Structure 1
Amino acid sequence: MSHIAMITGADRGLGLALTANLLTQNWRVFAGQYMPDWSELNDLSTQYPNQLTTIPLDVSSQSSTQSAAQTVEQKADRVDLLINNAGINAIHRDRTIREPQDYDEIHRVYDTNSLGPLRVIEAFLPLTDQSTMKRLCFVSSEAGSITRAHRPAWFGYAMSKAALNMGVRTLFNHLRPDGYTFRLYHPGGIRSYIGGSGVKGTRGGQEPEEAAIPALAHFLESYADPKAED
């Protein structure tokens, strides 16, 4: 029986590369699609019609996450691997506190990066509960590290990833006794579209296809006995 994965933010970048990688490993993949006009994910669906199902998903919307979970439930009896990859950054991220802040934009970043994964986990728990693997994965960032903080700006993104890290720890405290295992991962700098301008960034040190290889290896790494001490 093939394993079943659900990936958010699979339209492009790291999410698309993770989806493609899992498909080559014969996984059944449900891919959250936020931008239906972006062609790459649809191209993968054509290439893997029996393995890949795309699902409309906006992680900042509770109704959207619940609808996505219901769609998966109609097609599968469980989800083994849930990868929370969807994330955004602010267009005005480089503004310091001496410059006007766009708080609506910062709120949108936080709502997507911090609360989005909680909405997804809540909606998909009935499906992940049915799995023996029970692996929950989260794409975070060094920008969320308190000890390594060095930027004078990036309020929305850095604060949202710090909040995500705490949220994952809280989920761990509650779900670990039920057999869940967790992967919280910083993939490094990636040339991606996360900047919000619609243009692929050039400053990252690696392409998404490169970053997906170690990321997926980490996500699929053998997990310890849930009863073991961490």
Structure 2
Amino acid sequence: MGKTAVITGADRGLGLAVVKEFLEKGYKVFAGQYMAEWGELADLKKEYDEGLYIIPLDVGNDISVKNAFDLVAKETDSIDMLVNNAGIAGSAGDIYELEELERGLAMYNTNCLGALRMVHAFLPLLERGGEKRLCFVSSEAGSISVCHRQEGYVYPMSKTALNMAVRLLFEELNPRGYTFRLYHPGWVKSYMSGRKSKAGKYEPEESAASACQFFAQNLVHEDVLKMYDNEFAVWPF
């Protein structure tokens, strides 16, 4: 029987590329769709009809997360992996331009609290899964010790908060058999600001290939939490 994964932020960019990678590996994939008007998931569904389930999902909304869980639970009684990829970015929080902090609240709600909502909602299905694997797409931006940015305070802060949330989840759930993957995708030409960035070192497909290898493989030391990047280097967080 094939493995099952739930992936958030799957409409485009890294999330969509991760969906494709797992489908090619034979996973049954439940892809969280935030933008129904964006057609790439629908196109992919035509190719992987029985393996891909498109689930409306806004990780920043309690009701949306609950509804997504109900849809997944109708199709399966267990999942092996939850990939928390959904995220938004922007320049909110310059110390001289605090009027953009409302957008900063949206970043926290999606980038950090969204992951907690998803774990909370999907624990019953993960508990019955074979792998019990929780994967989180973070960023070097959240690493305090190697901080080099000088603007856009809130996005890095939201990723630091995510890293702490993952650490706390690890302390509670790893002794119960859950395994964790904390991933920095590198400088990806992403859609996080609303349109695909021309700046970046990696195409989404390049980082997704590394991500899926990292997410799917078993590690020698599953009782240690580390953040790896797409070249499998360890980052402090």
Please indicate the TM-score interval, normalised by the length of the shorter structure.
over 0.9
Cα displacement (A) at 1:177: 1.3
For residues 171-213 of structure 1, the C-alpha deviation after alignment (integer angstroms, 9 at most, x for no partner) is 0011111100000000101101101xx3210111011011101
Residues 1:58 and 1:229: Cα distance change in structure 2 (over 3 Å)? closer
Do residues 216 (structure 1) and 212 (structure 2) align?
Answer: yes
Residues 1:225 and 1:129: Cα distance change in structure 2 (over 3 Å)? farther
Residues 1:206 and 1:229: Cα distance change in structure 2 (over 3 Å)? closer
Contact persistence 1:181–1:223 (CA under 8 A): no
Q: CA RMSD, aligned part only? A: 1.4
The correspondence for 1:131, drawn from 124, 129, 135, is 129
For residues 151-175 of structure 1, the C-alpha deviation after alignment (integer angstroms, 9 at most, x for no partner) is 1112121000000000000000111
Which residue in the other structure is 2:231 paired with? none
Q: Distance in 1 between matches of 2:50 and 2:157?
A: 40
For residues 102-153 of structure 1, the C-alpha deviation after alignment (integer angstroms, 9 at most, x for no partner) is 1110000111001000000000000000012001000000000001111111
Q: Distance in 2 between matches of 1:118 and 1:79?
A: 17
Cα displacement (A) at 1:223: 3.7
Cα displacement (A) at 1:224: 4.7
SS of the residue corresponding to residue 99 of structure 2 reads coil
Q: Distance in 1 between matches of 2:142 and 2:221?
A: 28
Cα displacement (A) at 1:25: 1.0
Unaligned runs of 5+ in 2: 226-237
The correspondence for 1:173, drawn from 171, 174, 181, is 171
Give the aligned length.
225
Residues 1:62 and 1:150: Cα distance change in structure 2 (over 3 Å)? same
Residues 1:122 and 1:99: Cα distance change in structure 2 (over 3 Å)? same
SS of the residue corresponding to residue 63 of structure 2 reads helix
Percentage of pairs with the same residue: 48
**For residue 37 of structure 2, what is the amino acid of its counterpart?**
D
Cα displacement (A) at 1:2: 0.5
Contact persistence 1:18–1:212 (CA under 8 A): yes
SS of the residue corresponding to residue 31 of structure 1 reads strand
SS of the residue corresponding to residue 110 of structure 1 reads helix
SS of the residue corresponding to residue 104 of structure 1 reads helix
Cα displacement (A) at 1:96: 2.7
Which residue in the other structure is 1:13 paired with? 13
Unaligned runs of 5+ in 1: none
SS of the residue corresponding to residue 212 of structure 2 reads helix
Q: Distance in 1 between matches of 2:46 and 2:164?
A: 38
Which residue in the other structure is 2:181 paired with? 183
Q: Distance in 1 between matches of 2:52 and 2:32?
A: 11
Q: When the two structures are superposed, what TM-score results if normalisation uses the length of structure 2?
A: 0.91
**For residue 222 of structure 1, what is the amino acid of its counterpart?**
N
The correspondence for 1:151, drawn from 149, 152, 161, is 149
Which residue in the other structure is 1:201 paired with? 197
